[in-house]
Amino acid sequence: MLPAALRAQQLADSGRRVNQIVLTRHDIFDSTEAAQWIRRIVNQLHVRTRQRVVERELLLRVGDPLDSARAAETGRNLRRLQVFRDVQVDTSADGRTLQIHTYDGWSTRPYATFRSTGGQTLISAGLLETNFLGLATTLDVRYVQDPDRSLVRLAFGAPRLISNRISTGAFYNRFSDGSSFGAVVEKPYFSLSGRNALRASFVNFDGRVLRFRDGVLRARDSLDRRFTLGAVSAAHAVRASPRGYLRVGGELQVRRDDFAPRTAVPTAISRTVTGALLSYVDLSAARFLVTRNYRQLGQPEDVDLSSTIRLGVSVAPSALGYDRTGVGPLLFAQTGTRLPHGFATVTGRVSGLASGGAVDSGTAQLSATVAFQPHRQHLLVAFTMRGWDKNPFPGEEFDLGLFRGPRAFPLHSFTGDRQHFSVLEYRYTALPNILGAFAAGVAVFAETGGAWYSGSPQRSGSDAGIGFRYAPLRSASNIGAGRFDLVRRFATDRQPAGWVVVIGTGFTFDGLR
């Protein structure tokens, strides 16, 4: 049975059709806001998102039956472009005119970032443009230096670049100890009602892999890796609507992945090429929530509460280069629910490969998030996760510190094939609107997490502290609120207790695998 509210909305929508679509594109500062010369300059420097970019995301046309679910999904599609600071999709009083307002955000971001846990630092500088020439095209040029290596990165991404249907992207990374590059061409599902998707991708890595253990911050060993992966996939929706879908798909991968110890005298690396097949079924009941002051400050955000499950089987046949044929399951599941003044989500994934009656490799992860917002300016977030690996590739073990996990610990403080992490954070957005341009707040938090190898003693660390949160209200980026934290690190077998200043963006659980 459909929820009563949804049944009522469907009845309200029935019988009405869209007679007119009114699209209004707003600049970063509206005319009523642009009295100050600096705001006028900002508008003049920015290229407003082009009308055709907005129109191609619309899921309702003149003459279509009015469908509130498609209207809501249109708003999500526009926000997903990451070029707007706000999007509003409404119907007129007569219920037959679709009114769409897009509010551009500042999309050119020259940046210089600094992250530190006291003993280690990460420095980056560059330029990120997410709306080049108003076409929702992304250009990324950056330099990054972390405790392991330095990096120069060039990247490009364009949705619907070819025939308004084909999206493309490419990147090139030049490391101080290697390089990587890749590209993708795809026709994705542009909506929940999409029927077909195609994708072709390629990635290559040639460089050094560092391996760490037991919290020792110096690499235990170093390997040269030659990795190439090419993949083509196709999927079809047997059933599709704005309220969910049933999709079937398959993928073919061709892979080279060879390692050799790094020595003073270069060692020749063999070439081993293998192929694998994957088939899967996706089932989803769509459900979304629009909120504010969660990962960002002030701007609207879409939270996916859909109940989705993917069941698949991967096959690595001996005919495609493996020593023996392997077969393994793939399971991904997520669900979410609204709570009084908040929401909760749970996500799990399992994959593996077995041959000869034994598991050769595999990974599993389970995570849960609860967010409670009794008032727009107050947020309490609890997150917990567990992860397990069996025979991970060198350099792909769980690795906590500096970038992710307990924020006061250096890079590679916790490594292994088992991991856990939990965090509790309360944030108060004390200044939600500073001159119409910024928002700021304070936060208190406590967290614990770690990683270790199976058969070894469990290693973890904890910290707690207070911090400052800040974010531009006119930005088009959704990288999350910036944070400046004063953290008390509690002693471990490798790290002494002490106070640490940590600078970063987003939640510390963002990007955890």
pLDDT tens digits for range 269-323: 667 889 999 999 999 999 999 999 999 998 899 999 999 999 999 998 888 888 8
Mean pLDDT confidence for 237-242:
95
135 burial level (CB within 10 Å; 0-12, 13-18, 19+)? middle
Q: What distance separates the 2 farthest-apart alpha carbons in the chain?
A: 78
Question: Each residue of 412-460: pLDDT tens digit?
Answer: 999 999 999 999 999 999 999 998 889 999 999 999 999 999 999 999 9
- Scan for tokens 């040269």, then name that residue: 224
Alpha-carbon distance 15 to 70, whole Å?
15
**Number of neighbours of residue 432 by Cβ within 10 angstroms:** 16
The backbone region for 341, taken as left when phi is positive above 0, alpha when psi lies in -120 to 50, beta otherwise, is: left
3-state secondary structure (DSSP) of residue 479: coil
- Residue 295's pLDDT is 92
Could you please report the per-residue DSSP string of 307-367? EEEEEEEEEE-GGGT-SS-EEEEEEEEEEEEEETTEEEEEEEEEEEEEETTEEEEEEEEEE
Query: Does pLDDT of 327 surpass 60?
Result: yes
What pLDDT was estimated at residue 253? 95
- Those residues whose C-beta lies under 8 Å from the C-beta of residue 44, and which sit 6 or more positions away, are none
Two structure tokens written together for 34: 């642009």
Task: Tell me which residue has tokens 């009941």.
Answer: 285
- Structure confidence at residue 265 as a pLDDT band (50, 70, 90): low
Average of per-residue pLDDT across 128-144:
93
- C-beta neighbour count of 238 within 10 angstroms: 12
The span from the CA of 182 to the CA of 501, in Å, is 36
Please write the tens of the pLDDT for every residue from 477-501.
Answer: 777 898 999 999 999 999 999 999 8
Give the model's pLDDT for residue 33.
77
Residue 204 pLDDT grade (very low, low, confident, very high; cuts 50, 70, 90): very high
Task: Tell me the torsion sign for CA atoms 180, 181, 184, 190.
Answer: positive
Predicted local distance difference test score (pLDDT) of residue 178 = 94
pLDDT at 161: 87
Pairing between β-strand 138-145 and β-strand 178-187 as defined by DSSP bridges? unpaired
